Structure 1
Amino acid sequence: MTPMALEGIRVLDFSHLLQGPFATQLMADMGADVIKIERPGKGDLFRSLTFRNKWVGGDQSPNFLAWNRNKRSMALNLKSAEAREVIMKMAETADVVIQNFRPGVMAKMGLGYEDFKKVNPRIVYCSGSGYGVDGPYQTRPGQDMLVQGLTGVMAATGQADQPPTPVGAGFSDQIGAMNMIYGIMTALLWRERSGEGQEVSVNLLAGMLAHQNQEMVTAMNFGEDFERPSSGIGHPGMDAPFGTYPTRDGWITIAMSPFATLIDVLDAPELKVYDDPKTLYDKRDEIWRELARRTGEWHRDTLLEALLAADIWCGEVKTHLEAAEDPQVAHLGLIQSYQHPTAGEVKVVGPAVGMSATPPKISRPAPLVGEHTREVLREAGYDAETIERWLKDGTAGEPENK
């Protein structure tokens, strides 16, 4: 068996929706034993949310399936004193705890960092929130689109004559997940050196601002906000030709490229009057329209071939389904699948990180609620009689059809 980099690392995962589950899936892909602790019966809220009211296999949310492979599910009623006893017993041998409840919720249940630290001083406890643990926004809901609006990315996206535009994916949450992993891995390395665990705190607000640092530095140091273009220019701070352009049968992107070379390919020498750095910014919308008129006369593949031959930075604009069929995506083996107990074959995007000695892999489907409750309780040392009693009285749970 090929070794995995995080084998032997046990994660108690109390997180839900996207931020925390994506972080723990990244660890699970690398071999960590992630035990997802969910509400009996209902489980993670993402189990009941889906796009376009479509369910994989008729009953599984694609949103949940996307972020929960390679994990085991244990269903526990966290309000039960006996459930807390189980968790603290498991904490004795755990390495990481992840949670993204609102600030203070876990501590009120006796499941805060200080509670875990008393049982296991080596524990790394990671909390994710919308806006941090205190301050004027403490009671606000911390949701992806709301944070995009608060941090400038929405006001900088889209065209000037349209409403501020959210990114078409859970960008804030996914940045938050990456920051969780960054903090956890750093804390685990520190633990190897010092023998001490610690608390890691991540919030969506800080993450989104940090990942827009070039835009923030520009705006703050010049005292000027970006102005969105009214055309297909791809960034509020960029000049022409940077942006998206139409063709006869689709759209292409053109990034930072010599304007003179571009108009030579398009056979538009009359546009040389724009070839000046200040003009390329000041008249970027006008220039975009002139360029778009000319790119619109080409078939997409023919234009791309001509632009690439001239070393113009360009590419196709593809839908999600087209991206899944992309030849480079196929070459990298990025689209994979697994067998789910009720949904059947589930197509997924595989791990994005390569490891020469300890490659990640998909070894488990996203679990059913409480699918591994008995298994995990047995591993924790509880006898069959106790487990049956807890399943009957609601302290623990397992799938209804099991």
Structure 2
Amino acid sequence: MEKALSHITILDFSHLLQGPFATQLLADLGARVIKVERPGAGDLFRSMTFFNKWVGGSESPNFLAWNRNKRSLALDLKRPEAKETIFRMAAKADVVVQNFRPGVMNRLGYGYEDFRAVNPGIVYCSGSGYGEDGPYVTRPGQDMLVQGLSGVMAATGHADGPPVPVGSGFADQIGAMNMVYGILGALLWREKSGRGQEVKVNLLAGLMAHQMQEYVAALNFGQDFERPRSGIGHPGMDAPFGVYPTKDGWVTIAMSPFSKLVEALEAPHLMAFNDPAILYDQRDHIWEQIAAETRKYGRAELMERMLAVDIWCGEVRSHREAAEDPQVRHLGAITSYEHPVAGNVKTVSPAVTFSETPAAIDRPAPLVGEHSREILSEFGFSQDEVEKLVESGAVAQA
């Protein structure tokens, strides 16, 4: 079927998570994404993994996660032949994406002005940790570091423990979404104006923007959030909002009438706390009192009791448990694809549904330089030209 972005060609110089997730989202919608990688080593994520294990014995789950539906062109960007090749391709491309440290692409001769000189309609999107200049410009812009700087880490965890980072690359993934948002906006404007532009995204500003309600409260009330000592689920919320133990696992309880929770737990003594001021001021003590009651039930039984009286609640699941959840199965949120080395790779499906131009996984994550010859041929390079580039070392083929 036709895909929404099948007319868009992206030169993707990005690595690790932020940029690659952004271009994967666009590739899922049909964009022709050409991943420009270092010959041999490729994207740094190819050498990183979890659990000290490799999918299929050699492939990184980190790389496989963010690079499906792309093709790889292995090119030594420091060679003059590579620069000529890139700008010949850029004349036909729509978007450039990069997330090197600020200044790196400019020093190599691949900055926005360099691309605009050969293609005034190019959309050039840069991702960084803290922006392109300023006092932190030389700092490494890594996800956990940005979580610490932005406030989200200080607001997560228990008062008697350390600040807690989110258990996934939250800042990078927000940054990726902002890249997609910026690129699509620039492409729409180009349709009207005929002109490209430069789009800049940074992790710090992005993560702060996604804590909008926390910043509005803290700045306007002149009061910082204080982490609770208990399992209260947000530093600004009162009881019962939080995570609670059962005989065989954990459940979450969100905004719900306190009297309904008392009914579900069959614990009338808890009604003594049913006052908005008390529910906040004594939230840690109340959490402990509620937890003493939830521990009496198995997770399934407690969920049934709470749902029966319309409590906002849910199970706490591990990643593998979540993959088997009946609603996850119904949504088709877990899928797989075949990789030439890793074999069958289980992954998460595209999350957005389109009635006319559905997203799909058409290609596995590529090997380094797997498509070098194919890509250059499509951009009008003759077979002799391609072979000369390979022989010179500017281009590599898997």
The one-letter code of the counterpart of 1:236 is P
Q: For 1:90 and 1:390, how far apart are their aligned partners in 2? A: 14
The amino acid of 1:183's aligned partner reads: G
1:238 matches 2:233 = no
Q: Could you list the per-position Cα deviations for residues 138-187 of structure 1 after superposition, in whole angstroms to 9, with x for gaps in the alignment?
A: 00000000000000000000101111100000000000000000100000
Q: Could you tell me how far 1:383 is from its partner in structure 2? A: 2.3
CA contact (8 A) 1:233 1:241 kept: yes
Matched residue type, 1:196 = R
Q: Is 2:78 aligned against 1:54?
A: no
User: For residues 162 and 394 of structure 1, what CA distance do their matches in structure 2 show?
Assistant: 53
Equivalent residues in 2 for 1:115-130, closer than 5 Å: 115-130=114-129
**Is 1:203 aligned with 2:202?**
yes
Find the aligned partners of 2:347 and 2:230 in 1 and give their Cα distance.
34
Specify the code of the residue in structure 1 equivalent to 2:137.
Q
Counterpart in the other structure of 1:107: 106
Give the Cα–Cα distance (whole angstroms) in 1 for the partners of residues 266 and 25 of structure 2. 48
Structure 2 partner of 1:36: 35
SS state of the match for residue 63, structure 2? Answer: helix
Total equivalences in the alignment: 398
The residue number in structure 2 matching 1:174 is 173
Q: CA deviation at 1:244?
A: 0.5
Determine the structure 2 residue equivalent to 1:257: 256
Partner of 1:354: 353
Deviation >4 Å, runs of 4+? none
> Which aligned pairs between 1:3-402 and structure 2 lie closer than 5 A?
3-399=2-398
Q: CA deviation at 1:264?
A: 1.4
Whole-angstrom CA distance in 1 between matches of 2:54 and 2:393? 28
Matches of 1:331 and 1:152 in 2, distance apart? Answer: 36
**SS of equivalent to 1:251:** strand
Amino acid at match of 2:321: E
CA distance in 2, matches of 1:316, 1:391: 54
Q: Secondary structure at the match of 2:96?
A: strand
Partners of 1:156 and 1:227 within 8 A in 2: yes
The answer to whether the 8 A contact 1:41-1:398 is kept is no
Secondary structure of the equivalent of 2:336? strand
Give 5+ residue unaligned stretches, structure 1: none
> C-alpha displacement at 1:273, in angstroms?
1.3
Amino acid aligned to 1:192: E
State the TM-score, normalized to the length of structure 2.
0.99
Q: Secondary structure at the match of 2:304?
A: helix
Query: What is the DSSP-based 3-state SS (H/G/I as helix, E as strand, rest coil) of the residue aligned with 2:52?
Result: coil
Question: Distance between the aligned counterparts of 1:250 and 1:107, measured in 2?
Answer: 52
Q: Note the C-alpha offset of 1:30.
A: 0.3
Secondary structure of residue in 1 paired with 2:11: strand
Query: TM-score under structure 1 normalisation?
Result: 0.98
CA distance in 2 between partners of 1:231 and 1:191 (Å): 51
What is the rounded CA distance, in whole Å, between the counterparts of 2:252 and 2:17 in structure 1?
29
CA contact (8 A) 1:16 1:44 kept: yes
Distance 1:254 1:298 in 2: 15
8 Å CA contact 1:219, 1:226 repeated in 2: yes
- Which residue identity is paired with 1:350? S
Q: Distance in 1 between matches of 2:246 and 2:213?
A: 31
SS at match of 2:186: helix
In 2: Cα distance, 1:12 partner to 1:146 partner: 28
Distance in structure 2 (CA, Å) of the matches to 1:90 and 1:391: 16
Q: What is the CA-CA distance between 1:357 and the residue it aligns to?
A: 0.4
Distance 2:397 2:322 in 1: 37
1:377 is displaced (CA, Å) by 1.3
Percent identity, aligned pairs only, is 68
AA aligned to 1:318 is: R
| RMSD of aligned alpha carbons | 0.7
Question: Shift of residue 355 of structure 1?
Answer: 0.1
Aligned partners of 2:157 and 2:9: how far apart in 1? 43
8 Å contact kept, 1:18–1:67? yes
Secondary structure of 1:331's partner? Answer: helix
Letter in 1 for 2:197: Q
Give the AA of the match of 1:85: E
Distance 1:231 1:176 in 2: 31
Deviates more, 1:29-38 or 1:105-114: 105-114
**Alpha-carbon distance in 2 for matches of 1:392, 1:44:** 22
SS in 1 for 2:292: helix
Quick check: 1:250–1:300 contact (8 Å CA) kept in 2?
yes
- How far the C-alpha of 1:384 sits from its partner, in A, is 2.2
Q: Do the aligned partners of 1:239 and 1:281 also contact (CA within 8 Å) in 2? A: yes
Aligned-partner Cα distance in 1 for 2:325–2:392: 51
1:355-380 CA-to-partner distances (Å, cap 9, x unmatched) read: 00000000000000000000011112
| Cα shift at 1:110 | 1.1
Three-state SS of the structure 2 residue aligned to 1:37 is strand
